[in-house]
């Protein structure tokens, strides 16, 4: 050991070793590189036991250079858990909007040497800033919307006929598919990128005394204050916009199915109400057409009476152009699930369950599923697509049928303005 250490020291002093170290430092481009001398010494003696370790590539050299860091693959962003997502995903907000007040008009008189009667020169105040709600496709939830917005006030006028500056408008960015309501009534539906709704007008600026100059009154002393801005309380509601919505009881396998047919990765677990927020996945076709499919949290009997996760998620279904009813074939009577789902949808909005639809019989890999499928087919008139989200069996038929529904929808409404967004 002593010999090895001595060898290391003697090697350390040789100019050849020194120059190679310099080269290494230059190559990595940073001075913060630590080379463990002792190991280097050992690895350099060919007879040592550690030689083979070095040759195998396990190098006890610790580096901390920017170059090295950049060359390493950055770790993938971790998926957000459903619980965290619920905290971040906000789909309704109540906001109070107060537009900016108008600036004050000013009372002043022109003052200049040898100009005794300069006359009134008080300028008007600027208008208050309005508040505009704007749809932005880069915004994904209403989480950043705060409860109260106050517009910028207009600036006061000043002497020499100077008008005050108008308050700048305040923009509230909301996701596409935000519905603005006032006292329960829909005011506007912001469905397109860049669509704006001027929610509250700013107050008008006050008048300066110059405004009141007339032949009857050559020296008006009147100047008015600006009017206060408009005030409104609005509800913002986000409705997921997708072409197809997966509707089913908890645990039916909706999230598993979305995972199987699209790029989305919603959480899957063997307990009800795993999904707490809608997830949207994209099904891509060879001709570059994309169909957005939304996984909607499970619905139970009495959802319209706010049971389970309540009606808050039924509104997301409202925005889907066609429905995919997912039935759990491990349930004793899967066809009753269909009746209950339809009933809940109709209770929320009459006729909602009549949208173009497909019935998906999930969990076909289970042994008793085949018999139940036959009974289900006898009970319903619509097409039933048997699949297994777990094994991926027959998902192609579902993907093809989805495209048929989508093409049918485009033929009917393609040119309309209510086209779902391209995700």
Ligand X SMILES: Nc1nc2c(ncn2[C@@H]2O[C@H](COP(=O)(O)OP(=O)(O)OP(=O)(O)O)[C@@H](O)[C@H]2O)c(=O)[nH]1
Q: Which is nearer to Mg ion, 262 or 275 (CB)?
A: 275
- Write the DSSP symbol of residue 230: P
State the binding partner of 248 from Mg ion, ligand X, none, CB within 5 to 8 A by kind: ligand X
Say how far apart CA 153 and CA 367 lie, in whole Å: 70
Q: Environment class of residue 271 by beta-carbon count within 10 Å: exposed (0-12), middle (13-18) or buried (19+)?
A: exposed
Shortest distance (Å) from residue 285 CB to ligand X = 23
Shortest distance (Å) from residue 27 CB to ligand X = 51
340 touches ligand X (CB under 6 A): no
Shortest distance (Å) from residue 422 CB to Mg ion = 24
365 touches ligand X (CB under 6 A): yes
252 touches ligand X (CB under 6 A): yes
Whether the CB-CB separation of 95 and 233 falls below 8 Å is answered with yes
251 touches Mg ion (CB under 5 A): no
- Tell me, by CB under 5 A, how many residues bind Mg ion: 3
Shortest distance (Å) from residue 406 CB to Mg ion = 23
310 touches ligand X (CB under 6 A): no
Single out the residue of 130, 158, 255, 337 in contact with ligand X (rule: CB under 6 A): 255
Shortest distance (Å) from residue 44 CB to Mg ion = 59
State the binding partner of 273 from ligand X, Mg ion, none, CB within 5 to 8 A by kind: ligand X
Single out the residue of 240, 255, 277, 362 in contact with Mg ion (rule: CB under 5 A): 255
Return the structure tokens found at 171. Answer: 């923009």
Distinct helix (H) and strand (E) counts, the chain: 11, 16
Choose the stretch contacting ligand X; rule: CB under 6 A; options: 137-145, 159-167, 312-320, 363-371.
363-371
Q: How many CA atoms lie within 13 Å of 160's alpha carbon, on the beta-carbon side? A: 1
Q: Which is nearer to Mg ion, 31 or 270 (CB)?
A: 270
Return the structure tokens found at 96. Answer: 């109070």
- What are the strands of the beta sheet with 185-190, ordered from one edge? 148-150, 92-98, 231-238, 178-182, 185-190
Closest Cα to residue 314, out of 235, 409, 245, 406? 245
- Tell me, by CB under 6 A, how many residues bind ligand X: 24
The residue assigned the tokens 């950049």 is 70
Residues within window 259-298 making contact with ligand X, judged by CB under 6 A: 268-270, 272-275, 297-298
275 touches Mg ion (CB under 5 A): yes
Q: At what angle do helices 2-13 and 37-44 cross, to 10 degrees?
A: 100
Whether the CB-CB separation of 296 and 325 falls below 8 Å is answered with no
Return the structure tokens found at 193. Answer: 């990128």
248 touches ligand X (CB under 6 A): yes
Q: Which is nearer to ligand X, 91 or 153 (CB)?
A: 91
Say how far apart CA 11 and CA 18 lie, in whole Å: 9
Shortest distance (Å) from residue 295 CB to ligand X = 6
Instruction: Using alpha carbons, list the distances in angstroms from residue 344 to 69, 299, 327, 352.
Output: 55, 8, 15, 9
Q: At what angle do helices 334-348 and 369-379 cross, to 10 degrees?
A: 50
- Kindly list the residues in this chain that would bind Mg ion in the complex (CB under 5 A): 255, 274-275
- Kindly list the residues in this chain that would bind ligand X in the complex (CB under 6 A): 248, 250-256, 268-270, 272-275, 297-298, 362-363, 365-366, 388-390
């Amino acid at each position: 050991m002593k010999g090895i250490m001595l060898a290391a020291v003697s090697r350390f002093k040789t100019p050849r070793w020194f120059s190679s170290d310099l080269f290494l430092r230059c190559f990595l481009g940073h001075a913060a590189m630590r080379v463990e001398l002792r190991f280097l010494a050992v690895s350099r003696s060919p007879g040592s036991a550690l030689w083979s370790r070095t040759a195998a590539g396990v190098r006890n050299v610790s580096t901390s250079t920017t170059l090295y860091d950049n060359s390493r693959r950055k770790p993938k962003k971790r998926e957000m858990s459903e619980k965290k997502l619920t905290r971040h995903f906000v789909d309704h907000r109540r906001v109070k909007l107060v537009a900016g007040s108008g600036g004050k008009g000013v009372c002043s008189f022109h003052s200049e040497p040898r100009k005794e009667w300069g006359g009134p020169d008080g300028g008007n105040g600027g208008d208050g800033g309005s508040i505009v709600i704007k749809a932005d496709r880069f915004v994904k939830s209403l989480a950043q919307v705060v409860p109260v917005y106050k517009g910028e006030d207009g600036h006061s006028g000043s002497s020499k006929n100077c008008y005050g500056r108008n308050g700048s408008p305040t923009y509230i960015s909301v996701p596409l598919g935000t519905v603005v309501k006032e006292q329960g009534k829909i005011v506007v539906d912001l469905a397109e990128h860049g669509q704006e709704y001027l929610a509250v007008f700013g107050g008008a600026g006050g008048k300066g005394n110059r405004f009141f100059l007339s032949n009857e009154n050559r020296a008006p002393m009147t100047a008015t204050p600006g009017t206060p801005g408009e005030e409104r309380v609005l509800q913002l509601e986000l409705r997921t916009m997708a072409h197809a919505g997966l509707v089913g009881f908890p645990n039916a396998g909706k999230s598993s199915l979305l995972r199987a047919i699209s790029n989305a990765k919603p959480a899957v677990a063997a307990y009800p109400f795993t999904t707490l927020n809608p997830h949207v996945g994209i099904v891509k076709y060879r001709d570059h057409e994309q169909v957005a499919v939304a996984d909607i949290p499970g619905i139970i009997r009495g959802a319209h009476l706010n049971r389970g996760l309540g009606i808050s998620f039924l509104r997301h279904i409202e925005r889907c152009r066609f429905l995919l009813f997912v039935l759990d074939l491990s349930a004793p009577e899967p066809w009753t699930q269909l009746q209950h789902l339809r009933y809940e949808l109709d209770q929320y909005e009459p006729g909602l369950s009549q949208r173009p639809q497909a019935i998906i019989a999930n969990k076909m890999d289970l042994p008793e599923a085949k018999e139940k499928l036959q009974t289900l087919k006898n009970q319903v008139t619509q097409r039933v697509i048997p699949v297994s989200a777990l094994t991926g069996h027959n998902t192609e038929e579902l993907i093809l049928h989805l495209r048929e529904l989508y093409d049918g929808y485009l033929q009917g409404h393609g040119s309309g303005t209510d086209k779902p967004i391209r995700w």
